[in-house]
Structure 1
């Protein structure tokens, strides 16, 4: 070794070795700088951390009990309306529908009879005269108010059946007896026919007296 080489310091020898290709230890990475602004209170939570509030076991148990009670009561509530809608009286429902069917045919028949009453009045009077044993009238002349009487009679026939239908359906849906509604409507329709027939017969002043039996 020459004196010049021996005079080098150890640090210089190490630097030369590094320069000549010796491996140097890697430098430690510098910590990443947090660019977020510093919070006013405390520090930021670590990334990925979430806060879950504590669960009150008593409150959770009470809510579960209330939910179970509501679930148990809810299916039983609609039972009453469905029972009422189905009809509590099946026999009453059958008779009501039957009377309504007869009622619609009766209303149509009565309307047709009232419409033809001016032309059939004389034949009806002759039949009544034979029953009473009196001389039948020779002719029938309808008064000017007869068309109005007939129109009112036909309108009442149809109106009574419609009212009976709607009222009966409402009572059956409510689970109440309804058979008497079309029955009463039928009686009222018959009374209307009798009253209108008497008004039509009375429109001819000479017609009604001819049907009265002679006094001895």
Structure 2
């Protein structure tokens, strides 16, 4: 005949298992306090004495605030600039007037195409920057620099898109020739 006795822990209650492991009964264990989850000053992640987990993201409230503020500023900038690029001839006429260029922007076909491309670049660049920033924030990594770098790269690419029709405009070409030559 085979022995029908249960193996260790098969039918033991939680209390019996705790007693066998040398732990106090559940009704004698004090409830956790909020300070139990906060590591002690000078604690290192993964330190067994403080109970902090090495994979837990570090809280950086200033980094979070700065990152969100830069993303919000960038979003406002993208909306305003993107809308102005969609009306490219008006934006270029204002810019040319501010520079003192005689004449008006007349390269409408290229202006419409490249203004639309520049607007799309702004939206795509901000979206990618926001995605990368949020991922870094969630993982607890320093992220304030991501909106700055993303904004600089996006601005560079959008400016190149805007410069293409401007550099092919007769009034602007004449202005550059006059200022370079004399």
**TM-score, L = length of structure 2:** 0.65
Structure with higher RCO (Cα < 8 A, 6+ apart): 1
Q: What is the match of residue 82 of structure 2?
A: 111
Structure 2: 5+ residue runs without aligned partners? 10-15, 23-36, 38-45
Larger radius of gyration, structure 1 or 2? 1
Alpha-carbon distance, 1:143 to partner: 4.7
CA contact (8 A) 2:85 2:115 kept: yes
Alpha-carbon distance, 1:209 to partner: 2.6
**TM-score, L = length of structure 1:** 0.56
CA contact (8 A) 2:136 2:143 kept: yes
- CA deviation map 1:39-91 (0-9, x unaligned): xxxxxxxxxxxxx95689xx67xx948x849xxxxxx999638842xx42121
Structure 1: 5+ residue runs without aligned partners? 1-51, 70-75, 130-135
* TM-aligned CA distance change 1:54 to 1:140, over 3 Å: closer
Work out whether 1:191 is the aligned partner of 2:156.
yes
After TM superposition, the structure 1 = structure 2 runs for residues 167-182 of structure 1, keeping only pairs within 5 Å, are 167-182=132-147
RMSD across aligned positions (CA): 3.6
Q: What is the match of residue 152 of structure 1?
A: 117
Q: Distance in 2 between matches of 1:201 and 1:120?
A: 11
* TM-aligned CA distance change 1:139 to 1:170, over 3 Å: closer
Q: Distance in 1 between matches of 2:135 and 2:156?
A: 25
Residues matched between the structures, number: 148
CA contact (8 A) 2:104 2:171 kept: no
Q: Distance in 1 between matches of 2:108 and 2:161?
A: 13
Q: What is the match of residue 35 of structure 1?
A: none
